[in-house]
């Protein structure tokens, strides 16, 4: 659950377009730290407006029903190589089990550049910012997988 805990700082979305290509913040008013720190909706709206004014895209993940590209995600998962775990070959991905409200901020130019330059790891998956957000909020891809390494790189500060 590295992404859930490592990147649940509000600054993670505020740095998108400056030092990061993608960031997310998990928020909810009914959960307590250390899992999620509640943030007033007005503050999230102000941050979203500022990001949009800089040309970034903002996606709110309120439920699993509002996620698109699920057929493409299922097809991509079929093509991911298995990994050896406890002496058995197992899938190198799993569907995300948590249902936490999240906001994603994306620099579409940086993400789409990363996706296009690493298209062999996408196995035909759409190289768009929106599709990438749907992928990372729907599926956990192991970091040992080349696609998982690309996702980790996208969330890091190395693209800038």
User: Which burial class, exposed, middle or buried, applies to 5 when counting CB atoms under 10 A from its CB (0-12, 13-18, 19+)?
Assistant: exposed
Mean pLDDT value of segment 39-67: 83
- In the block, which residue shows the tokens 């990372």? 136
Instruction: Write out pLDDT tens, residues 82-137.
Output: 888 788 888 888 776 666 778 899 999 999 999 999 999 999 999 999 999 999 98
pTM of the entire structure?
A: 0.80
Instruction: Write out pLDDT tens, residues 14-48.
Output: 889 888 899 988 776 555 555 555 566 788 889 89
Distance of CA 55 to the CA centre of its chain: 18
Whether the predicted pLDDT of 53 surpasses 90: yes
- The predicted pLDDT at position 118 comes to 92
């Amino acid at each position: 659950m590295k992404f859930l805990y490592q990147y649940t700082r509000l600054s993670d979305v505020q740095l998108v377009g400056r030092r990061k290509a993608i960031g997310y913040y998990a928020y909810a008013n009914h959960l307590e730290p250390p899992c999620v720190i509640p943030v007033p909706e007005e503050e999230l709206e102000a941050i979203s407006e500022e990001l949009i004014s800089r040309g970034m895209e903002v996606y709110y993940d309120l439920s699993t029903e509002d996620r698109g590209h699920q057929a493409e995600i299922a097809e991509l998962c079929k093509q991911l190589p298995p990994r050896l775990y406890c002496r058995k070959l197992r899938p190198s991905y799993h569907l995300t089990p948590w249902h936490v409200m999240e906001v994603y901020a994306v620099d579409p130019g940086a993400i789409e550049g990363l996706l296009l330059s690493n298209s062999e790891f996408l196995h035909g998956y759409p190289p768009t910012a929106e599709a990438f957000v749907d992928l990372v909020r729907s599926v956990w891809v192991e970091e040992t997988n080349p696609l998982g390494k690309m996702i980790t790189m996208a969330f890091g500060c190395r693209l800038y």
